[in-house]
Structures are given as structure tokens and as C-alpha cells.
Amino acid sequence: MKLIPSPSRTELRGKSILLGVTGGVAAYKSANLLRELQSRGAKVQVVMTEAAQHFIGTATFQALSGEPVYTDAWDQRVSNAMAHIELSRQADIVLIVPASADFMAKLANGLADDLLSTLCIASNKPLAIAPSMNREMWAHPATQRNLKTLISDGAAIIGPDTGDQACGETGLGRMLEPYDICEAVTAMLTPKLMAGKRVVVTAGPTYEAIDPVRGITNRSSGKMGFELARALANAGAKVELIAGPTFQLTPHDVKRTDVTSALQMHAAVMRNCEPRPDVFVSVAAVADWRVVNASDRKLKKTAKRKVPELEFAENPDILSEVAALPDAPYCVGFAAESQDLLDNATAKRARKNVPLLVANIGPATFGLDDNQLLLIDENGHRSTAVRSKRSLATELVKEIARRLPMPGPGLHDDGFAFQKSDS
Ligand code: CTP
């Protein structure tokens, strides 16, 4: 089973999605997609083709969306009898899930013989499609030709995936899971505040071996770092995520490198600093020390019950090293403190020489979905509300974006008021 991070309820708030369902066995999954989109705050309007209604009924979508479901170009419920225009104008995006081979062919050739195909042609909004079909149908030259046409016409193609198919065959053509489609749609609808920026993010704990089966680590779950990597990628950044051992799923459009120890994390970060990224966000809870006399065999208990003696050496401070590079990227540090939060975090920001330091408020948020942060920069400090790590990540991306040199107006003046720090 996939571990799904809890969604924030605000990410798609105010967005209106026209969900077009065409005839394919994966049509039943569109009901889950609708729920996932709604759980992020989107309003969803469903339009079905006639073929889709052989696989799933209109009543399901009507009950789930709380909106009438449209199937007919001559639907009398639309006041001006122009359902194709009215429905497409209300939406921020037209999303076809599943998109059958037949419907892709129609779209690629500009056919408009039912409500959904007419609406797609009449639409002035972005179009995204999630193909779903048998592997031979997907591989067929006609489908591949249509795919190329759709891409060059500007449609976003979400998937398909490879795997078991309803027909019993295995291969490429299977529809992506609703959660992954929802992630792609969320990314499409997120403002591109970080367009053109390359960002390196570290996340999770590190693990310092004592012997082949034992080691020293910490309680970091990696959640905050992964949410930040996701939010940065959704905002248009090219994100390289260097992750310590964690069970978090790799976010959509993020390049992930897995490491174990602090030394490995250090090497991976330094490799990714050539050429320099625009931003380095150091969320990882890096072990300060490693065991230098680690054994390559499992340590055994001795008859005399002598306990092992471990010798430690200090690990490199990755953040300080990146911040001290010539032409250093814009550096964001994190701090976990158990007392005197503001004083310790302010001192840490100065010691590491980073422009922005983010401290966790509250003793232990390890593994939890919610957090509260204290942001410290050269102007002072401010704390956030207690919110999901997902929405805090979105807030932090805005804070980072407005501090970067960016072309274009409007991104630099939506900041929050910072309070002057005493120290
Ligand atoms: N950090 C790092 N390399 C290390 C230790 C920490 O890059 N060897 C980074 C963390 O990713 C974080 C920041 O430095 O962004 C602060 O980490 P924290 O553990 O709070 O502080 P330490 O530097 O370890 O100092 P102390 O343990 O004394 O609080």
C-alpha cells in the first residue's frame, strides 16, 4: 500500500476543475480523483461521454461533486443552450481522466461530435489528459501520432503508467493512480514563483554506523524537507533532493538521491553545488558526529560484559560549508532547539552565515503532519500559525521566492511583517 501524505485543504482552494470522463474501465478511478481534488479545496464539475456511462453512472459523480453532471450538448439546464461554452469558461483547467484512444484521436483531429469533445475545442483553458488503454492500443502508430499532435497543440499528458491492465495483459498504457494525477494537476495550477531556479534540498536524518547492524540516527521523518522539495518543484524550480533514510515518497518532478551517512550527504551536496544552484535549503537533521572505530563485523557481547567504547569524530557542517562557497547559493537553514529558541536560532543563523533560518517552534514535531515555524532573517523574526507541513512549505516557498533576484513585478511585495529581533 502507498503511504499518502495528508493533503492540506487549501492547495486548490478557489480552483475550478472540469473533469471529463471518457469510456475506459479506469473511469471508476475518476471518482477517487474527484474526491482527492475536492480534499485539496477544488470545485469539480463533471462531464461524461456516452461511452463513459457504460462504465460508471452519472449518479456517482453527481453525488460526490454535489454538481449536476453533463453528458449532452443540448442540455436544457444551461440557460443559453451553449453548455460547451459555459462549462469551459467556468473552469481553470480541463482534465480528461481517463482519456481513451478514441477520445485522443478525436481531440488530435479537432472532432466535435459530443459535449466533451466540443467543449475541449471551445475551451480557452489549459488541457491535461491522463491516457488509459491496452498496451497495444497505446503503442499503435495512430495513437502515438495523435499523442504527438496533442503535445504540439499544448496539451499536458499525465502518464500513462506501466503495469497490470484490466484485460489481463501487462505493459504501458495503464492509467496513473488518482493521487499521482492529482499531484500533477496541483503542480500545473501552482503559480511558478521559482521558475528557472535550481534548488538543492537536504531532508531526513542521517545514519552513522556502529557495526553492520547498529547505528546512531535521530527522529527526523523527512516530512518537512520532502514537502518543501514538492512545493519548490510545484512552483517551477528544478529540485535535487538529497535524502537520508526515510519512508517518504519522492514528490512529483523531483530528482532524488538517497544517502545514508553525513559524509555521503556532504559529498552529494557538494557534487550538486557544481555548477552552483540558485538556492540551498538544508532541512536534514545531520548527525554532528560519526563513529570512527565502527566495526565491519557485528559487535558481540563478551563473557565479561565489557561495553564497547565508541570514538567519535565531528562531521562536516554541510550548510556552513555551502554558505561559505564563493558565489554561494541563497541558503536557508533549519534549526531544532530544545530551549531559548529565538536566542539560539538567531545565534545559529549568524554562526552559519545564512540569510534565512527557520526554527521549529515546540519541542518535537518529528513525524507529525503539523508544525509551527519561526522565521529569522536580517530584519528580525516572525512566527507562522500552526499549520500542516504541506501548507507551511507553500508559505516558505513564497518567502524564499520574494528574497531572490527575479525578473517581473509582483513577487516581492507579498511578504509578512517581520518583528525586529533584540539580539
Ligand atoms: N547542518 C548541516 N550539517 C551538519 C549539521 C547541521 O548542514 N553537520 C544544518 C542542518 O541541516 C540545519 C542547520 O545546519 O539546516 C542547523 O542544524 P541543527 O542540528 O539545528 O544545528 P547544529 O549545527 O547541529 O548545532 P547544535 O546541534 O549545536 O544545535
Question: Following DSSP, what letter does each residue of 337-348 receive, concatenated?
Answer: -SS-HHHHHHHH
Return the residue whose CA atom lies nearest to atom 17 of ligand 1.
335
Radius of gyration of the chain from its Cα atoms, rounded to whole angstroms: 25
**9 or 196: whose pLDDT is higher?**
196
pLDDT surpasses 70 at 6: no
- Alpha-carbon distance of 172 to 175, in angstroms, equals 9
In the prediction, which pLDDT does 169 show? 86
How large is the average pLDDT for residues 280-305? 93
The three grid cell numbers given for residue 282, joined into one nine-digit string: 538544508
**Contact 360/334 with Cβ under 8 angstroms?**
yes
Active site residue 167: yes
Alpha carbon of 163 to ligand 1 centroid (Å) = 42
Nearest ligand 1 atom, CA 262: 8
pLDDT surpasses 90 at 5: no
Task: Please write the tens of the pLDDT for every residue from 393-418.
Answer: 999 999 999 999 866 444 444 445 66
Name every residue whose Cβ is closer than 8 Å to that of residue 66 and which is 6 or more positions away in sequence: none
Return the residue whose CA atom lies nearest to atom 23 of ligand 1.
317
Return the residue whose CA atom lies nearest to atom 6 of ligand 1.
286
In the prediction, which pLDDT does 384 show? 95
Confidence band of 201 (pLDDT split at 50, 70, 90): very high
Alpha carbon of 422 to ligand 1 centroid (Å) = 23
pLDDT surpasses 60 at 321: yes
How large is the average pLDDT for residues 252-262? 97
Alpha carbon of 230 to ligand 1 centroid (Å) = 22
In the prediction, which pLDDT does 210 show? 97
Pocket lined around ligand 1, Cβ cut-off 6 Å: 202, 262, 282, 284-286, 288, 315, 317-319, 333-336, 348
pLDDT, the chain, mean? 92
The three grid cell numbers given for residue 366, joined into one nine-digit string: 518529528
Confidence band of 421 (pLDDT split at 50, 70, 90): low
**Contact 295/210 with Cβ under 8 angstroms?**
yes
Of 201, 320, 348, 375, best ligand 1 pocket probe by most atoms within 8 Å of the beta carbon: 348
Name every residue whose Cβ is closer than 8 Å to that of residue 322 and which is 6 or more positions away in sequence: 269, 270, 273, 280, 282, 328, 329, 331
pLDDT surpasses 50 at 1: no
State what percent of residues in the chain have pLDDT above 90.
81
In the prediction, which pLDDT does 411 show? 43
- Alpha-carbon distance of 277 to 291, in angstroms, equals 31
In the prediction, which pLDDT does 81 show? 62
| Among 167, 182, 273, 331, the one annotated catalytic | 167
In the prediction, which pLDDT does 289 show? 97
Lowest mean pLDDT among 164-168, 256-260, 266-270, 395-399: 164-168
Nearest ligand 1 atom, CA 316: 8
Nearest ligand 1 atom, CA 284: 11
Name every residue whose Cβ is closer than 8 Å to that of residue 141 and which is 6 or more positions away in sequence: none
The three grid cell numbers given for residue 320, joined into one nine-digit string: 556552513
pLDDT surpasses 60 at 423: no
In the prediction, which pLDDT does 203 show? 98
Return the residue whose CA atom lies nearest to atom 24 of ligand 1.
288
pLDDT surpasses 60 at 162: yes
- Alpha-carbon distance of 221 to 212, in angstroms, equals 22
In the prediction, which pLDDT does 83 show? 72
Alpha carbon of 33 to ligand 1 centroid (Å) = 40
Alpha carbon of 148 to ligand 1 centroid (Å) = 48
